Amino acid sequence: MDDGALMEQVSHGDREAFAMLVEQHAPALQRFAVRLLAQQSHAEEIVQETLTRAWQKAGDYNAERARLSTWLHRIAHNLCVDRLRRQEREVPLAPALESALTARETAEQVLETLDSQDRVAKAIASLSERHRTALVLTYYQSLSNREVAEIMGISLRALESLLVRARQQIKTTLEASS
Amino acid sequence: MKRSPSQPPLSLTRAKEILNAYGAEPERWPEEERGDLLQLLARSPELQALRETASQLDDLLDEWQPEVINHTDILVGSLPAQTQPKQHWANQLAAIFLSGLLGWRQAALAAAPLALGFIWGLSGEPPSDDWSEAEFLIFNSPMKVLSDE
Protein backbone atom coordinates (compact mmCIF):
# COMPACT_ATOMS: atom_id res chain seq x y z
CA MET A 1 0.00 0.00 0.00
CA ASP A 2 1.46 3.39 -0.91
CA ASP A 3 1.86 6.28 1.52
CA GLY A 4 -1.18 8.20 0.29
CA ALA A 5 -3.55 5.23 0.45
CA LEU A 6 -2.30 4.25 3.91
CA MET A 7 -2.74 7.74 5.33
CA GLU A 8 -6.15 8.03 3.70
CA GLN A 9 -7.25 4.98 5.68
CA VAL A 10 -5.61 6.26 8.87
CA SER A 11 -7.39 9.61 8.45
CA HIS A 12 -10.71 7.72 8.48
CA GLY A 13 -9.87 6.17 11.84
CA ASP A 14 -8.68 2.80 10.57
CA ARG A 15 -6.66 1.37 13.47
CA GLU A 16 -5.34 -1.55 11.45
CA ALA A 17 -3.87 0.85 8.91
CA PHE A 18 -2.35 2.83 11.77
CA ALA A 19 -0.81 -0.34 13.24
CA MET A 20 0.72 -0.98 9.82
CA LEU A 21 2.13 2.55 9.81
CA VAL A 22 3.61 2.04 13.28
CA GLU A 23 5.25 -1.24 12.30
CA GLN A 24 6.70 0.27 9.14
CA HIS A 25 8.02 3.52 10.58
CA ALA A 26 8.41 3.29 14.37
CA PRO A 27 11.76 1.44 14.34
CA ALA A 28 13.44 4.07 12.13
CA LEU A 29 11.90 6.91 14.14
CA GLN A 30 13.05 5.35 17.39
CA ARG A 31 16.64 4.95 16.15
CA PHE A 32 16.55 8.55 14.93
CA ALA A 33 15.34 9.85 18.29
CA VAL A 34 17.84 7.75 20.27
CA ARG A 35 20.70 9.00 18.15
CA LEU A 36 19.56 12.59 18.48
CA LEU A 37 18.65 12.60 22.17
CA ALA A 38 21.08 9.91 23.38
CA GLN A 39 18.45 8.75 25.88
CA GLN A 40 16.26 5.73 25.27
CA SER A 41 13.37 6.81 27.50
CA HIS A 42 13.14 10.28 25.93
CA ALA A 43 13.35 8.73 22.48
CA GLU A 44 10.42 6.42 23.21
CA GLU A 45 8.33 9.39 24.32
CA ILE A 46 9.22 11.25 21.12
CA VAL A 47 8.22 8.29 18.95
CA GLN A 48 4.94 7.90 20.80
CA GLU A 49 4.18 11.61 20.43
CA THR A 50 5.18 11.62 16.76
CA LEU A 51 2.92 8.71 15.88
CA THR A 52 0.05 10.06 17.97
CA ARG A 53 0.28 13.33 16.03
CA ALA A 54 0.41 11.38 12.77
CA TRP A 55 -2.83 9.68 13.82
CA GLN A 56 -4.49 12.94 14.80
CA LYS A 57 -3.31 14.92 11.75
CA ALA A 58 -3.46 12.12 9.17
CA GLY A 59 -5.85 14.19 7.07
CA ASP A 60 -3.19 16.89 6.66
CA TYR A 61 -0.72 14.52 4.99
CA ASN A 62 -0.21 15.16 1.28
CA ALA A 63 1.59 12.35 -0.55
CA GLU A 64 2.38 14.67 -3.45
CA ARG A 65 4.42 16.95 -1.22
CA ALA A 66 6.54 14.48 0.74
CA ARG A 67 7.14 10.82 1.41
CA LEU A 68 5.48 9.61 4.58
CA SER A 69 8.89 8.87 6.05
CA THR A 70 9.98 12.49 5.49
CA TRP A 71 6.73 13.83 6.97
CA LEU A 72 7.13 11.68 10.09
CA HIS A 73 10.80 12.59 10.48
CA ARG A 74 9.87 16.27 10.29
CA ILE A 75 7.42 15.84 13.17
CA ALA A 76 9.95 13.82 15.18
CA HIS A 77 12.71 16.31 14.45
CA ASN A 78 10.63 19.24 15.69
CA LEU A 79 9.75 17.34 18.87
CA CYS A 80 13.39 16.36 19.45
CA VAL A 81 14.58 19.95 18.98
CA ASP A 82 11.93 21.18 21.43
CA ARG A 83 13.04 18.52 23.91
CA LEU A 84 16.72 19.35 23.52
CA ARG A 85 16.08 23.07 23.96
CA ARG A 86 14.04 22.42 27.09
CA GLN A 87 16.80 20.34 28.60
CA GLU A 88 19.65 21.91 30.41
CA ARG A 89 22.52 23.12 28.26
CA GLU A 90 24.64 20.16 29.27
CA VAL A 91 25.89 17.91 26.48
CA PRO A 92 23.76 14.77 26.35
CA LEU A 93 25.81 11.67 26.95
CA ALA A 94 25.41 8.23 25.50
CA PRO A 95 23.55 5.90 27.89
CA ALA A 96 26.55 3.71 28.65
CA LEU A 97 28.75 6.67 29.42
CA GLU A 98 26.02 8.35 31.44
CA SER A 99 25.49 5.31 33.68
CA ALA A 100 29.21 4.81 34.03
CA LEU A 101 29.74 8.40 35.11
CA THR A 102 27.15 8.05 37.83
CA ALA A 103 29.32 5.28 39.24
CA ARG A 104 31.95 8.02 39.84
CA GLU A 105 34.58 6.56 37.58
CA THR A 106 37.16 8.81 35.99
CA ALA A 107 36.82 9.72 32.31
CA GLU A 108 39.85 7.64 31.40
CA GLN A 109 38.48 4.57 33.14
CA VAL A 110 35.16 5.05 31.42
CA LEU A 111 36.70 5.36 27.98
CA GLU A 112 38.69 2.22 28.52
CA THR A 113 35.58 0.22 29.28
CA LEU A 114 33.49 1.54 26.44
CA ASP A 115 33.19 -0.59 23.38
CA SER A 116 33.35 0.98 19.97
CA GLN A 117 29.56 1.33 19.75
CA ASP A 118 29.53 3.43 22.88
CA ARG A 119 32.46 5.47 21.64
CA VAL A 120 30.57 6.28 18.46
CA ALA A 121 27.45 7.14 20.49
CA LYS A 122 29.50 9.45 22.70
CA ALA A 123 31.19 11.09 19.70
CA ILE A 124 27.81 11.76 18.06
CA ALA A 125 26.39 13.01 21.34
CA SER A 126 29.23 15.52 21.59
CA LEU A 127 28.13 17.25 18.37
CA SER A 128 25.93 20.33 18.45
CA GLU A 129 22.23 19.73 17.87
CA ARG A 130 22.35 20.89 14.23
CA HIS A 131 25.48 18.93 13.32
CA ARG A 132 24.05 15.84 15.01
CA THR A 133 20.69 16.19 13.25
CA ALA A 134 22.29 16.65 9.82
CA LEU A 135 24.52 13.61 10.30
CA VAL A 136 21.86 11.33 11.76
CA LEU A 137 19.20 12.17 9.16
CA THR A 138 21.59 11.87 6.21
CA TYR A 139 23.71 8.97 7.32
CA TYR A 140 21.34 6.70 9.24
CA GLN A 141 17.79 7.47 8.14
CA SER A 142 17.93 6.71 4.40
CA LEU A 143 16.66 10.15 3.49
CA SER A 144 17.93 12.07 0.46
CA ASN A 145 19.93 15.26 0.93
CA ARG A 146 16.98 17.29 -0.33
CA GLU A 147 14.63 15.66 2.17
CA VAL A 148 17.04 16.32 5.03
CA ALA A 149 17.51 19.95 3.98
CA GLU A 150 13.72 20.33 3.86
CA ILE A 151 13.24 18.76 7.30
CA MET A 152 15.88 21.04 8.80
CA GLY A 153 14.73 24.09 6.86
CA ILE A 154 18.17 24.81 5.40
CA SER A 155 19.81 24.94 1.96
CA LEU A 156 21.72 22.02 0.45
CA ARG A 157 24.97 23.96 0.78
CA ALA A 158 24.31 24.60 4.46
CA LEU A 159 23.50 20.92 4.97
CA GLU A 160 26.75 19.84 3.31
CA SER A 161 28.70 22.29 5.41
CA LEU A 162 27.15 20.83 8.58
CA LEU A 163 27.91 17.29 7.39
CA VAL A 164 31.57 17.99 6.64
CA ARG A 165 32.06 19.59 10.07
CA ALA A 166 30.16 16.80 11.84
CA ARG A 167 32.21 14.02 10.23
CA GLN A 168 35.48 15.85 10.91
CA GLN A 169 34.58 16.33 14.56
CA ILE A 170 33.52 12.71 15.04
CA LYS A 171 36.73 11.49 13.47
CA THR A 172 38.79 13.71 15.78
CA THR A 173 36.82 12.60 18.86
CA LEU A 174 37.13 8.92 17.99
CA GLU A 175 40.83 9.21 17.29
CA ALA A 176 41.33 10.94 20.64
CA SER A 177 39.40 8.27 22.52
CA SER A 178 40.99 5.22 20.87
CA MET B 1 18.25 11.69 -11.57
CA LYS B 2 21.00 12.36 -14.12
CA ARG B 3 22.99 15.53 -14.53
CA SER B 4 21.48 17.83 -17.15
CA PRO B 5 23.64 18.57 -20.25
CA SER B 6 23.80 22.26 -19.26
CA GLN B 7 25.52 21.44 -15.94
CA PRO B 8 29.33 21.68 -15.85
CA PRO B 9 31.24 18.41 -15.35
CA LEU B 10 31.95 17.45 -11.76
CA SER B 11 35.14 19.12 -10.52
CA LEU B 12 37.70 17.45 -8.29
CA THR B 13 36.90 19.97 -5.56
CA ARG B 14 33.20 19.15 -5.72
CA ALA B 15 33.95 15.42 -5.70
CA LYS B 16 35.97 15.87 -2.49
CA GLU B 17 33.16 17.91 -0.93
CA ILE B 18 30.71 15.11 -1.63
CA LEU B 19 32.95 12.42 -0.12
CA ASN B 20 33.69 14.55 2.94
CA ALA B 21 30.01 15.34 3.49
CA TYR B 22 28.23 12.11 2.62
CA GLY B 23 30.89 9.42 3.09
CA ALA B 24 31.91 6.55 0.87
CA GLU B 25 28.57 4.98 -0.09
CA PRO B 26 27.15 6.12 -3.47
CA GLU B 27 23.56 5.69 -2.24
CA ARG B 28 24.10 8.63 0.15
CA TRP B 29 25.55 10.95 -2.51
CA PRO B 30 23.35 13.51 -4.27
CA GLU B 31 21.50 11.57 -6.94
CA GLU B 32 22.23 14.00 -9.77
CA GLU B 33 26.01 13.85 -9.15
CA ARG B 34 26.34 10.14 -8.39
CA GLY B 35 27.14 8.94 -11.90
CA ASP B 36 29.76 11.62 -12.55
CA LEU B 37 31.45 11.00 -9.20
CA LEU B 38 31.71 7.29 -9.86
CA GLN B 39 33.32 8.00 -13.24
CA LEU B 40 35.72 10.50 -11.70
CA LEU B 41 36.61 8.07 -8.91
CA ALA B 42 37.55 5.39 -11.40
CA ARG B 43 40.40 7.52 -12.76
CA SER B 44 41.53 9.51 -9.70
CA PRO B 45 43.80 7.81 -7.11
CA GLU B 46 43.46 10.89 -4.91
CA LEU B 47 39.69 10.50 -4.75
CA GLN B 48 40.02 6.76 -4.19
CA ALA B 49 42.23 7.41 -1.16
CA LEU B 50 39.75 9.96 0.17
CA ARG B 51 36.92 7.49 -0.32
CA GLU B 52 38.86 4.85 1.61
CA THR B 53 39.29 7.26 4.54
CA ALA B 54 35.58 8.10 4.41
CA SER B 55 34.78 4.39 4.34
CA GLN B 56 36.68 3.80 7.58
CA LEU B 57 34.59 6.44 9.34
CA ASP B 58 31.43 4.94 7.81
CA ASP B 59 32.34 1.55 9.26
CA LEU B 60 32.65 3.07 12.73
CA LEU B 61 29.35 4.95 12.37
CA ASP B 62 27.65 1.71 11.32
CA GLU B 63 28.57 0.13 14.64
CA TRP B 64 26.01 2.20 16.55
CA GLN B 65 22.71 0.41 16.04
CA PRO B 66 20.38 1.34 18.93
CA GLU B 67 17.93 -1.24 20.21
CA VAL B 68 14.36 -0.83 19.11
CA ILE B 69 11.44 -1.53 21.42
CA ASN B 70 8.09 -2.40 19.86
CA HIS B 71 5.23 -0.28 21.24
CA THR B 72 2.64 -0.91 18.53
CA ASP B 73 0.01 -2.42 20.85
CA ILE B 74 0.34 0.34 23.45
CA LEU B 75 0.16 3.04 20.77
CA VAL B 76 -2.82 1.57 18.96
CA GLY B 77 -4.59 0.93 22.26
CA SER B 78 -4.32 4.51 23.50
CA LEU B 79 -5.17 6.61 20.49
CA PRO B 80 -6.86 9.99 21.07
CA ALA B 81 -9.60 11.47 18.88
CA GLN B 82 -8.59 12.57 15.42
CA THR B 83 -8.71 16.21 14.34
CA GLN B 84 -10.37 17.37 11.14
CA PRO B 85 -8.00 17.98 8.23
CA LYS B 86 -7.23 21.58 7.28
CA GLN B 87 -9.59 22.79 4.54
CA HIS B 88 -8.88 25.03 1.61
CA TRP B 89 -10.10 28.62 2.25
CA ALA B 90 -12.80 28.28 -0.43
CA ASN B 91 -14.16 25.17 1.26
CA GLN B 92 -14.08 26.91 4.64
CA LEU B 93 -15.98 29.87 3.16
CA ALA B 94 -18.54 27.52 1.61
CA ALA B 95 -18.94 25.75 4.96
CA ILE B 96 -19.55 29.07 6.75
CA PHE B 97 -22.05 30.15 4.07
CA LEU B 98 -23.92 26.85 4.22
CA SER B 99 -24.01 26.88 8.00
CA GLY B 100 -25.34 30.46 7.74
CA LEU B 101 -28.14 29.26 5.50
CA LEU B 102 -28.99 26.54 8.00
CA GLY B 103 -29.01 29.20 10.72
CA TRP B 104 -31.54 31.28 8.79
CA ARG B 105 -33.78 28.26 8.40
CA GLN B 106 -33.70 27.66 12.14
CA ALA B 107 -34.38 31.34 12.84
CA ALA B 108 -37.31 31.30 10.41
CA LEU B 109 -38.70 28.21 12.12
CA ALA B 110 -38.45 29.90 15.52
CA ALA B 111 -40.11 33.10 14.24
CA ALA B 112 -43.11 31.27 12.74
CA PRO B 113 -45.12 31.02 16.02
CA LEU B 114 -44.50 34.74 16.64
CA ALA B 115 -45.84 35.60 13.20
CA LEU B 116 -48.90 33.40 13.74
CA GLY B 117 -49.57 35.13 17.05
CA PHE B 118 -49.31 38.53 15.40
CA ILE B 119 -51.77 37.54 12.66
CA TRP B 120 -54.12 36.08 15.26
CA GLY B 121 -54.00 39.36 17.14
CA LEU B 122 -54.83 41.42 14.05
CA SER B 123 -57.75 39.22 13.13
CA GLY B 124 -59.48 39.62 16.58
CA GLU B 125 -61.73 42.48 17.90
CA PRO B 126 -60.24 45.94 17.41
CA PRO B 127 -59.08 47.47 20.68
CA SER B 128 -61.35 50.03 22.35
CA ASP B 129 -60.85 53.70 21.50
CA ASP B 130 -61.88 54.65 25.03
CA TRP B 131 -58.64 55.84 26.64
CA SER B 132 -60.28 57.54 29.62
CA GLU B 133 -59.45 54.82 32.16
CA ALA B 134 -55.84 54.55 31.00
CA GLU B 135 -55.41 58.33 31.04
CA PHE B 136 -56.88 58.43 34.54
CA LEU B 137 -54.34 55.87 35.78
CA ILE B 138 -51.38 57.51 34.01
CA PHE B 139 -52.02 61.11 34.99
CA ASN B 140 -53.03 60.60 38.62
CA SER B 141 -50.70 59.50 41.40
CA PRO B 142 -51.42 56.14 43.05
CA MET B 143 -52.26 57.86 46.37
CA LYS B 144 -54.84 60.09 44.64
CA VAL B 145 -56.40 57.11 42.91
CA LEU B 146 -56.71 55.27 46.21
CA SER B 147 -58.12 58.29 48.06
CA ASP B 148 -60.67 58.98 45.25
CA GLU B 149 -61.86 55.43 45.58
Output the pLDDT for position A97.
52
Binned at pLDDT 50, 70 and 90, residue B86 comes out as low
pLDDT digits (tens, 9 = 90+) for B97-127: 555 555 566 667 778 888 887 787 777 655 5
> What pLDDT is recorded for position A104?
43
Please indicate whether, in this complex, the C-beta atoms of A167 and B23 are within 8 angstroms of each other: yes
Task: Please indicate, yes or no, if residue B82 is contained in any of the structural domains.
Answer: no
Calculate how close chain B gets to A103, using CA atoms only, in Å. Answer: 23
ipTM score of complex: 0.80
- CA A136 distance to own-chain centroid: 6
B72·A19 Cβ contact <8 A: yes
Domain ranges of chain A: 3-87, 107-177
Give chain A's residues under pLDDT 70: 88-114
Give domain status of residue B142, yes or no: no
Q: Is residue B72 very low, low, confident or very high in pLDDT (cuts 50, 70, 90)?
A: confident
What's the pLDDT score for residue B96? 59
Q: What is the SS3 string spanning chain B?
A: CCCCCCCCCCCHHHHHHHHHHHCCCHHHCCHHHHHHHHHHHHCCHHHHHHHHHHHHHHHHHHCCCCCCCCCHHHHHHCCCCCCCCCCCHHHHHHHHHHHHHHHHHHHHHHHHHHHHHHHHHHHCCCCCCCCHHHHHHHHCCHHHHHHHC
**Domain membership flag for residue B71:** no
pLDDT exceeds cutoff 90 at B6 = no
Residue pLDDT, tens place only, B31-56: 999 999 999 999 999 999 999 999 99
Fold of A107-177: Arc Repressor Mutant, subunit A (1.10.10)
In CATH, A3-87 is 3.20.20.80? no
Nearest CA to A51 out of A82, A8, A19, A80 is that of A19
pLDDT of residue A123: 94
* pLDDT given at position B136: 58
First CA to last CA across chain A, in angstroms? 46
**In B, residues 81-100, which contact A (CB 8 Å cutoff)?**
81-86
Report the distance separating Cα A160 and Cα B3, nearest Å: 19
pLDDT at A100: 44
Res B39: pLDDT: 94
Could you give the dihedral angle defined by the CA atoms of residues B108, B110, B113 and B119, in that order, rounded to the nearest 10 degrees?
Answer: -40
Residue B99 falls within a domain, yes or no?
Answer: no
Which of A:82-121 have CB within 8 Å of B?
Answer: 116-117, 120-121
- Split into its structural domains, chain B has a count of 1
pLDDT of residue A132: 96
B31 assigned to some structural domain: yes
Chain B positions in Cβ-Cβ contact with residue A59 (cut-off 8 Å): 82-86
User: Domain range for residue B30?
Assistant: 12-63
